[in-house]
Structure 1
């Protein structure tokens, strides 16, 4: 029987989506503008993310199919399936915008490269990482991405160790509250960056690919159109009990979310403790300059290195998710290079047009927040069905928690729309 550690990995790769440049921009802006006010949003988002990512991985492991594949087989109307694909594809493109722009900003801060060139380099590196995944297999891809995850964690937590936050402010920030429409916008942005729709789609595929047994007919091979085997069949083909895989997955998701939650919280606390009220620090460039002036070149450089690793790792996971979305819902495959070049266009256009990169990052996370219900509601519904997961279907309390998370996120987005359009 394989050791537990060997089974860990997919959640750490999917967890990179929780540490993308959009997270950095949203959390830095929240800390710089509102201090410790939105600490509770980061904590709540991470708790909900644990449940959501576990359900996504469970679907992939038990059924041998990703969420897009499962939905593609269940949505019979071709126009409805295309409409669903379109919103999911727009979400994936919003993710790409955040990740490519973040990598471009990091290269500009570190080496003075023009943003457009930095975006092109970030996109090129993501293609290399995807080629590693397709040619060397999921395990090698995991090793590379987890290495980048370590760089991200060091880069974004070092500053908090050098300049610790105010403990009383952190505790006060755990009390849920808002201060005007701007704080609601940032809360939606933080949640969109924390609970990312493309991570929900990707994690089910990553878990499927990692534990796909021969003959299971997953999309990793050429037999994706074959009927999905029953959970008992998959367990027999793998030679590993499904219950053992799910137990390992809970550890995998827990480790990934602890890392992601700690780093996200550190980003907000670093800004709240050192950048609150400092002019210009609501942008990545301004935050870097303030960190350089206030805490020294080591903290500022590590921050920029973390941002670069974040962009490089998360854009490859985002591209992987986009390819899975297209294949699962439209049942077509586009050559990797062609698809990656197309999805890079919006980010490169924004960089070429001179649009404020930090504002683009924050707004992209709001777009992601609106895409969450379209991924989350089907996920909760599917994982609660006996016909889909058999005896591994959700317990009643798990389904209730998933429904509560969905209702909260939809209510937050509705409140955001009301505040923005009424000027309240």
Structure 2
């Protein structure tokens, strides 16, 4: 009998990597940055959230495309192109600092959420968050990519409900939202928060991780050899890239909507309320103004955010080390080591919300180091062949890179000069 025809998988079964990477856009640093921006400046920075989300779509698609077409991650590509050991180590160091800043935000966010929900001390909450993230990483290590994706996507649904519920209870002012679409700043503080929002929206570790997630899920897809093999390989890549565009679009719509909802919730309900520049104060203000149910939803969303995003961050950090230093440390061992800075911050009593916002600023400075190589590599026809970027795609990526670098430079100048 002839072999039974096996239909190609439906696009829905090819979704997942972008949704996992998209959790990075919903981490506690996002909550702190967007909540603080809304409470302090109202609807002023709505445009930053929207612009960041548009740029994030392009960037995450390029990252996934690199992994799908080449079967290699961005850190692996950089590790082979940076031939001098000192260059690889320097590049790894900045990427590692960014990954540590990410982990700091996520562990602290989980600790704050446990404190709000169950009055757990912050240090113990950090340990619990780290322990749960180790369980999630064990799922990825032992069961593979697909079960890990299901767990993270489940947490993403909890995050979405937790953070969006309040907007339906107390809707924002439509005129204020429309006014916030016009790009503008009001002093150094708004520039600082804009950089913080972009650092939380376009996260370097998400750029590194997405190419790795696509590689792990789909493997190398380029086919070489006879004409039929090449035709089959090209068809498979085309199908995977079509699924990837849907995957990235769904992930970015969810992430953008949640981030915007957080800012609008604060702008509509927390503007002028004292103490809302901290997560604890924002939670208390939500409880007073909108009731304990909305405040509980917020805290549950924050907890799910910390648990999901810290797992993805640890995965990204391991891939960065492997790709650039050619050293692979078991995920669980790395998780233990990277817990230390966050636990130290919690132990010495640094204000959690301040640490979260500053961590996002650190992330924003790591963006060019991930973004510029990504745009350059995906534009190379000798690397991606017919799947290389079109001119307009490379131009859009270059414009996004320049805008982000200029904003970060302006931020540094304003902070150093006190302007």
TM-score for both structures, normalised by structure 1: 0.95
How many residues are treated as equivalent by the alignment?
A: 409
Matched position secondary structure for 1:176: coil
Change (3 A) 1:73 1:171: same
Name 2:156's counterpart in structure 1: 149
Q: Distance in 1 between matches of 2:123 and 2:72?
A: 37
Confirm or deny: 8 A CA contact 1:58 1:204 kept in the other structure: yes
1:283 aligns with 2:278: yes
Name 2:101's counterpart in structure 1: 94
Post-superposition offset of 1:240: 6.0
2:408 corresponds, among 413, 421, 424, to 413
Name 1:191's counterpart in structure 2: 198
Confirm or deny: 8 A CA contact 1:10 1:142 kept in the other structure: yes
1:122 aligns with 2:108: no
Change (3 A) 1:246 1:270: same
Confirm or deny: 8 A CA contact 1:100 1:347 kept in the other structure: yes
1:79 corresponds, among 86, 89, 93, to 86
Q: Distance in 2 between matches of 1:322 and 1:241?
A: 29
Post-superposition offset of 1:339: 1.2
> After the TM superposition, which residues 237-248 of structure 1 pair with which residues of structure 2 at under 5 Å, given as runs?
241-248=236-243
Name 2:213's counterpart in structure 1: 206
Confirm or deny: 8 A CA contact 1:62 1:231 kept in the other structure: no
Post-superposition offset of 1:337: 2.5
Q: RMSD of the alignment, in Å?
A: 1.3
1:292 aligns with 2:287: yes
2:259 corresponds, among 260, 264, 288, to 264
Name 1:165's counterpart in structure 2: 172
Q: Distance in 1 between matches of 2:257 and 2:113?
A: 21
Post-superposition offset of 1:59: 0.1
Q: Distance in 2 between matches of 1:143 and 1:409?
A: 33
Q: Distance in 1 between matches of 2:349 and 2:390?
A: 50
Name 1:250's counterpart in structure 2: 245
Change (3 A) 1:107 1:238: farther
Confirm or deny: 8 A CA contact 1:192 1:372 kept in the other structure: yes
1:63 aligns with 2:58: no
Matched position secondary structure for 2:157: helix
Q: Distance in 2 between matches of 1:126 and 1:391?
A: 39
Name 2:318's counterpart in structure 1: 323
Confirm or deny: 8 A CA contact 1:231 1:242 kept in the other structure: no
Name 1:39's counterpart in structure 2: 46
Q: Distance in 2 between matches of 1:245 and 1:230?
A: 12
Name 2:5's counterpart in structure 1: none
Change (3 A) 1:236 1:130: farther
Confirm or deny: 8 A CA contact 2:96 2:317 kept in the other structure: yes
Name 2:374's counterpart in structure 1: 379
Q: Distance in 1 between matches of 2:358 and 2:383?
A: 36
> Which stretch has the larger CA shift, 49-58 or 232-241?
232-241
Q: Distance in 1 between matches of 2:200 and 2:307?
A: 16
Q: Distance in 2 between matches of 1:28 and 1:47?
A: 20
Post-superposition offset of 1:335: 2.4
Change (3 A) 1:194 1:183: same
1:336 aligns with 2:331: yes
Matched position secondary structure for 2:406: helix
Name 1:178's counterpart in structure 2: 185
Name 1:403's counterpart in structure 2: 398
Confirm or deny: 8 A CA contact 2:73 2:208 kept in the other structure: yes
Confirm or deny: 8 A CA contact 2:99 2:317 kept in the other structure: yes
2:385 corresponds, among 390, 393, 403, to 390
Q: Distance in 1 between matches of 2:235 and 2:346?
A: 48
Change (3 A) 1:387 1:238: closer
Post-superposition offset of 1:237: 8.8
Write the deviation string for residues 393-421 of structure 1: whole angstroms up to 9, x where unpaired: 00000000000000000000000011001
**5+ residue gaps in structure 1?**
217-228
